[in-house]
Structure 1
């Protein structure tokens, strides 16, 4: 499909630079089948869903994966965004000014943290091997900052508040370089209301990579290559999800990251299987969903893979209409913005 089919104009003032407080005070646009669009709030979620439905959250934790450094013994400066863990000491990373970086170069970051550029990949990214004996997570704590999306970082600096704001209440397993932002809206009070309504909760893990921020640079979706990300669904979680669906419950992914992993794990009979490994699933209109029955998600960038995903779930024209409505009604967009609930 043509990528420009998923384009729209978004006024800059609609891009949220901070989340609302409290988190569950965000607005939520309900897009349900062919019913009229409904302006609601995240706190309405327990009233919209049914007892027996399941909300599936991503429990990945964002690490301080943004680093600034220079070549050892030289003046060349590099901005590094870690993308995907390879092993205990090596990460694949996107590098700003990568044309000046050569295989074998040592990069010196803050806090006396250093890494060797081991291999350049075809997409321009590098394998970086962090030196020393301390765990890489400790090194990142010394030298790294929170990897805010470019559309926020360009407008303001990263600060201490982002250490809290850009982490969900479900964050447990280190490895993401972007937050599963749909989950940022949840609070203990909202979870209490969800539990009281008989709505089930499950977690999976997808370590979100920096590729989620990359624009689609091709003219046709067939020519776009997705970066892979590591995910896990336990056998116990898969069993509970399948059992809930067999009893008539709907599986509602909280965020496109949870959705992509559920779809990667689902078979042709709509059964969710245990999963542990990489996924580079790319969902565009025409895709037949097998793992989910709905999606809670923030508002996405024009011509992005996530705009294509929600269009696959609800229909492109339906989503373009919903986004026109959201812009007109002054919803807040992107990572720190408002939410939508999509129920085909």
Structure 2
């Protein structure tokens, strides 16, 4: 799915919401709500009144890593974006050129055998492309690096010398804390996300407390995201995920009780749908998922989705279409552009809910 729209550069969110004025918190963003082709405009703080008791939010607990590390190929400076750690100890990486504005820009990948010097005397050696036909992401190895603990190897390198990945539409580097959501939990093995699961960024502890007090439940899952600077029409690649038994039970109970299951972010959709059987029942599962949620595949569990605003050519739009339908997505993005909503990880958010069915009461003849 590609939207026939253009997002003006001025609609890119350049700094987090809490830095746009005194007294603001990260929940100071706008909320576009769509139910089918019916669109309404809200502040994010209205979310508790838009959900109802019995609804369930699926949230991603993956912690964001300081995944951008400076390196050198010969005398040339490069920036290494560490994306995903494989089971064999290799990392999927993207090499990018430094940008004069302090961000990065795309560069040609490879070839195999390319040697990248890293801080601390470490080296990175490219071995093979992650996906056939695309040379943006490469499997690479850091010879001699041991990953026996979060402080060792590449994870220690990121901790000591890394910074959050950022792109040129943002104004400046930010501390890693800015890229953590309220749901983020450090993993025991030091794994995490190359980029923030940003749909959850506007949540605050105050908001979570209010939602719980109104009867909305939370089901935590984990999906470690890779880098998002995909080439046009590049499909999502496999990511590591886990849906624990307790969350599977909560999701199934909410469905059985008539509650709506709303995924917070496309990562939550991918994880939950990867753990769902053809019968729509969610079972505890962990490992790697290569699931691509499309309109043809559809969704088996998720009723709604809270997500950011995506680029017109982003593959995530296929997932949105699977949840809401093409007409609804076209209408909501038209409304977002007309309403001057802000895009990207520090921007505004979009809540997709099922269309409300008309409620008809039938009464016997002696009903008064």
Using the TM superposition, name which of 89-98 and 314-323 deviates more: 89-98
The offset of 1:99, in angstroms, is: 5.1
Equivalent residue for 1:33? 36
Sort the Cα spacing of 1:11 and 1:106 in 2 relative to 1 into closer, same or farther, 3 A.
closer
Per residue, is there more helix in 1 or in 2? Answer: 1
The offset of 1:271, in angstroms, is: 0.6
- Which of these residues, 293, 301, 306, is aligned with residue 296 of structure 1? 306
CA RMSD of aligned residues (A): 2.0
3-state SS of 1:249 partner: coil
Using the TM superposition, name which of 163-172 and 281-290 deviates more: 281-290
Sort the Cα spacing of 1:327 and 1:99 in 2 relative to 1 into closer, same or farther, 3 A.
closer
Using the TM superposition, name which of 88-97 and 251-260 deviates more: 88-97
How many residues in Structure 1 have an aligned counterpart in Structure 2?
A: 325
TM-score (norm 1): 0.88
- Which of these residues, 230, 245, 265, is aligned with residue 214 of structure 1? 230
Equivalent residue for 1:220? none
The offset of 1:129, in angstroms, is: 2.2
Structure 2's unaligned 5+ residue stretches are 19-24, 97-106, 147-151, 355-368
3-state SS of 2:299 partner: coil
Q: Work out the CA distance in 2 between the residues paired with 1:247 and 1:135.
A: 47
The offset of 1:268, in angstroms, is: 1.7
Equivalent residue for 1:196? 213
Sort the Cα spacing of 1:266 and 1:65 in 2 relative to 1 into closer, same or farther, 3 A.
same
Q: Work out the CA distance in 2 between the residues paired with 1:127 and 1:265.
A: 27
Off by >6 Å, runs of 4+ in structure 1: none
Counterparts of residues 69-108 of structure 1 (less than 5 Å): 69-71=71-73, 74-87=74-87, 89-96=89-96, 97=107, 101-103=111-113, 105-108=114-117
Matched, 1:158 2:173: yes
Q: State the Cα deviation string for residues 240-267 of structure 1 (Å, max 9, x = none).
A: 2111211111111001110111111111
Equivalent residue for 2:11? 14
3-state SS of 1:201 partner: strand
TM-score (norm 2): 0.82
Sort the Cα spacing of 1:256 and 1:323 in 2 relative to 1 into closer, same or farther, 3 A.
same
Equivalent residue for 1:144? 162
Larger radius of gyration: 2
Equivalent residue for 2:360? none
3-state SS of 2:17 partner: coil
Counterparts of residues 1-344 of structure 1 (less than 5 Å): 3-4=1-2, 6-21=3-18, 22-34=25-37, 36-71=38-73, 74-87=74-87, 89-96=89-96, 97=107, 101-103=111-113, 105-121=114-130, 122=132, 123-124=134-135, 125-130=137-142, 131-133=144-146, 134-148=152-166, 150-152=167-169, 155-160=170-175, 163-172=176-185, 173=187, 174-210=191-227, 212-217=228-233, 224-344=234-354
Q: Work out the CA distance in 2 between the residues paired with 1:266 and 1:328.
A: 37
Structure 1's unaligned 5+ residue stretches are 218-223
Q: State the Cα deviation string for residues 113-164 of structure 1 (Å, max 9, x = none).
A: 433334444332322223345342211122222112x353xx544233xx12
